[in-house]
A = this chain, B = another copy of it.
Amino acid sequence: MFNLMSKKAKTHIPRGVVVRLTRYYAILQELRSRRAQWVSSSDIAEWLGLTSSTVRQDLSHIDFRGISRKGYNVEGLAATLAKTLGADTTWSMVVVGAGNLGHALALHEEFPRKGFHIKGVFDSDPAKIGRRIGSLRVMDVLTLPRFIYEKKIDIGLIAVPSQAAQQVADLLVAGRIRGILNLTQTHIVTPKTVPVAATRIVSSLQELAHLIKRQS
């Protein structure tokens, strides 16, 4: 019984910890490119403005044993984090919204390098449908559910105006999308089986505005 519970705890990492694991993974990749062999929790903590006990506690959630007096083994920790964060596989995506942001996302070179491949771009505006973006053509949003279902798309990026976000989320869910990245300022609702992550640039700017006000 105790073993079962501990296994469950290992697979259900709290959301805040997962977010920090993505930052550790970015640091580990940088260290790996510099051919570093070992890294300590206090080094990671200092680079990211955290305490080393937070780093150690967070890393205790993943199944990793390569710890020595010199710290964590860089190669091993990077590989374990990659597995935890799905960075060891490839993911197919669609972008919904072919405005400025959607356009930029569809052409963003970092995505394919990190295993995230954009297979389609959608919009509801007749003036945008049919236009070329890189090697893709903008498709009608009405064909979105069928496209997702037939191509087995994993992730949908929502880059439409806020007021259309929920409607797009519903279309993605209708096509049996596996997860959604919401880039609008609006909160969207999905079934429990479809996780949502959010990137809100305006929220980051407001966070920054608070920190600047605090300085002065």
Contact = CB atoms under 8 A, between A and B. Distances in A.
Nearest to A84: B210
A32 to B, nearest CB: 14
Given A108-B101, A193-B215, A195-B212, A203 B48 contact: no
A27 B108 CA distance: 30
A104 B21 CA distance: 28
A86 B206 contact: yes
B104 A48 contact: no
A11 interface: yes
A96 to B, nearest CB: 15
A181 interface: yes
A181 B178 CA distance: 30
Copies in the complex: 2
Contacts of A23: 187, 200, 203
A5 to B, nearest CB: 16
A18 interface: yes
Nearest to A101: B104
Interface of A: 11-13, 15-16, 18-19, 21-23, 25-27, 30, 47-49, 84-87, 89, 91, 100-101, 103-105, 107-108, 110-111, 114, 116, 154-155, 162, 178-181, 183, 185-187, 193, 195-216
Q: Shortest 7 CB-CB distances between A and B: which pairs? A: A86-B209, A104-B104, A195-B211, A22-B203, A100-B104, A85-B206, A197-B208
